[in-house]
Chain A
């Protein structure tokens, strides 16, 4: 049996009396695209927040690449190869697109300016923003800001890319491009995708984990999840009603 790329064992998070994530065991093998779905308030963002170190765990253990990263500060996890994109777009509005991406990738290149420039170009081209390199990020449309956010994630060449609701606010054509992009990336890196858009989930995910009320309700392939009655009641039934 191969070791999982990232895994948790009974990870929990409490906010005061509220239990946002409750003893979650979770494991994703290297190279897999895993979608995490669940109704609002299921604890998805809190859960991935703990994976990347934004939110400290209340209890439990997180392993990445076979190493315990539970108490490792966020910036060190990022440098070990985890990239995270925010649910609510979080870019540098008063800096150019180029500078945004430069910040996200510059620590990888030491003093090799040429390689850095290339990697900036490459990341922006991948999301189709290469023509807008010198614009202020804050002047972009919302959809383009989301794409920039994704470009900043890709530019880090992470081993694990965590995308928190990346298609929210994107137009249909942009969503189609996004699905293609994720499929391309899938071979190179492990991807965790929190997503509300079921079509995107079904089109991209190898496996799906369903969270409900802070617990794992089910894990399986898209077909298995579609057929799972519990999931239908807790989640799908609710949205397709």
Chain B
């Protein structure tokens, strides 16, 4: 499985040094993010924590869209599965964060495995519509059970309940580092995945599905696993979001939250490990800055989507890779 181990036993070939280069680069980034917490002003410190959680969501999306080539319009359902899978037991059963987080994780696996199993019977545009529809049904279900979920209004997870392993996660420094841990785990997982044999097959499916099948790979199984990994990562981000920011609401299950990761990944660069983070960061501050002179921040998102499809189909990191850093993964 591990590429770096086999790398040590044989003379370094070019692609493998690229793997190392890319690994160092991303580990360096994690280091920079760790150091940033000591110099950032409180406002941006808080923003960055939020961005790292949302970027984890986007990284989950990227596994399916960027690396496997499957465009889902229903990832909010996975994000919400984690959010409510964790939030509901805490709010109604008095669970502590540790088992609740596990519940969110399991909810992510169960929902993505079953939705993936059904949705993968279709492909292309049908896959997009089916995932959109399932997510819509999920969103409506959350509204329907408003008695427990409190619907659109949502529910707050009290500060006293958000203490995990002795750390108060509502406290900014703890929150930042918890977000950074999640972010790092997702980033390293993505890197390991795309350099593994399994990941290479995922990319092969993206590039040419029929060929991959005829080279002896179980395409359907790989796609299903990609949905599960992608959905579960999204669910973890959803659970973390509720835990760190103390709130769960139906908005996070709405179509908008399915569109966001697509937007972030496209903007940053689909099929690049760093793209989701750059896209989320860029979009967050674009909206943050523009909201000082307009309330219609979705206008910015809309314009960004149109301009992206027209002029920057590879995204920011994609362009960077094409021009400057071909070894980026």
A and B touch in the complex (CB under 8 A): yes
A74/B207 in contact, CB under 8 A: no
Per the bound structure, the CA–CA distance linking A98 and B214 in Å amounts to: 18
- Whether B208 is near chain A, meaning CB under 8 Å from some CB there, is yes
Q: Chain B residues near A93 (CB, 8 Å)?
A: 207-208
- Among the stretches B165-173, B196-204, B299-307, the one at the interface with A is B196-204
Q: Which residues of B contact A229 (CB under 8 A)?
A: none
Query: Which residues of chain A are within 8 angstroms of B213 by Cβ–Cβ distance?
Result: 54, 74-75
Say yes or no for B92: interface residue by CB 8 A criterion.
Answer: no
Instruction: Flag A95-130 by CB within 8 Å of B: 1 or 0 each.
Output: 100110011101100010110010000000000000
Report A155 CB to chain B, min CB distance, Å.
10
Contacts of B218 in A (CB 8 A): 73, 75-76
Q: Is the CB of A92 within 8 A of B10?
A: no
How far, in Å, is B226 (CB) from chain A's closest CB?
16
| Contact pattern, A 46-65, Cβ under 8 Å of B = 1, otherwise 0 | 00000010100000000000
Q: Is the CB of B217 within 8 A of A107?
A: yes
Within 112-127 of B, Cβ neighbours of A (below 8 Å) are at none
On chain A, the residues within 8 Å of B210 by CB distance are: 54, 90
- A54 CB to nearest B CB, Å: 7
The reply to whether A54 and B214 form a contact with Cβ atoms under 8 Å apart is: yes
**Quick one: which of B14, B200, B214 contacts A78, CB cutoff 8 A?**
B214
Number of A-B contacts (CB under 8 A): 63
Q: How far is the CA of A138 from the CA of B216 in the complex (A)?
A: 22
Complex contacts, B197 vs chain A, CB 8 Å: 106
Task: Please give the distance in Å from B221's CB to the nearest CB on chain A.
Answer: 9
List chain B residues, Cβ under 8 A from A91: 208, 211
Is A156 part of the contact surface with B, judged by Cβ < 8 Å?
A: yes
A54 to B212, CA, bound (A): 12
Pair A86/B211 contact, Cβ less than 8 Å: yes
Q: Is A194 located at the chain interface by the 8 A CB criterion?
A: no
Do residues B214 and A156 form an inter-chain contact, with CB atoms below 8 A?
no
Instruction: Given A92-B207, A113-B6, check contact A52 B14 (CB 8 Å).
Output: no
B22: min CB distance to chain A, Å: 16
Please indicate the chain B residues that have their CB under 8 angstroms from the CB of A90 in the complex.
208, 210-211, 214
Chain B residues whose CB sits within 8 angstroms of the CB of A75 once the complex forms: 213-219
B208 and A92 contact, CB distance less than 8 A = yes
Residue on A nearest B212 in the bound complex, by CB:
A103
Residues A94 and B207 in contact, CB atoms below 8 Å apart: yes
Interfacial chain A residues near B207, Cβ < 8 Å:
92-95
Bound Cα distance A104, B126 (Å) = 29
Please, how many angstroms separate the alpha-carbon atoms of A86 and B210 in the complex?
10
Cα distance A54–B216 when bound, in Å?
A: 11
The contact size tier of chain B is: 20 to 34
Contact across chains for A103 and B214 when beta carbons are under 8 A apart = no
Rounded to whole angstroms, the CA-CA distance of A90 and B214 in the bound complex is: 10
> Residue-by-residue, is B48-70 near A (CB-CB < 8 Å gives 1, otherwise 0)?
00000000000000000000000
Contact pick for B214, options A52, A102, A106, A107, CB 8 Å: A52
**Residues of chain A with a CB closer than 8 A to B200's CB:** 99, 102-103, 106
Taking a contact as CB atoms under 8 Å apart, the answer to whether A78 and B216 are in contact is yes
Closest-CB distance, A74 to chain B (whole angstroms):
5
A68 interface contact, C-beta 8 A: no
Q: How far is the CA of A117 from the CA of B15 in the complex (A)?
A: 12
A74 with B208: in contact, given A103-B201, A113-B6 (CB under 8 Å)? no
Among A79, A95, A113, A134, which residue has its beta carbon within 8 angstroms of that of B14? A134
B14: chain A residues within 8 A (beta carbon): 134
Q: How far is the CA of A145 from the CA of B73 in the complex (A)?
A: 35
Once the chains are docked, how many angstroms separate the CA of A76 from the CA of B217?
A: 8
Residues of B within 8 A of A134 (CB): 14
Question: Given contacts A93-B207, A95-B207, is CB(A104)–CB(B10) below 8 Å?
Answer: no
Nearest A residue to B214 by beta-carbon distance?
Answer: A84
Chain A residues whose CB sits within 8 angstroms of the CB of B204 once the complex forms: 92, 95, 103
Contact assessment for B215 and A152 in the assembled complex, using a CB-CB cutoff below 8 Å:
yes
0/1 string, A29-72, CB within 8 A of B gives 1: 00000000000000000000000101000000000000000000
Residues in A neighbouring B203, C-beta threshold 8 A: 95
Residues of A close to B201: CB separation below 8 A: 103
Quick check: A114 and B10 within 8 Å, CB to CB?
Answer: yes
The 5 closest A-B pairs by CB, nearest first: A78-B216, A92-B207, A90-B211, A79-B216, A113-B6
16 cross-chain CB contacts under 8 A? A54-B213, A73-B218, A75-B214, A75-B216, A75-B218, A78-B216, A92-B204, A93-B208, A94-B207, A95-B204, A98-B15, A103-B204, A103-B215, A113-B9, A152-B215, A156-B215
With A79-B216, A94-B207, A106-B197 known, 13 other A-B pairs at CB within 8 A are: A74-B214, A75-B215, A78-B214, A84-B214, A90-B211, A90-B214, A91-B208, A95-B204, A102-B200, A111-B6, A113-B6, A113-B9, A156-B216
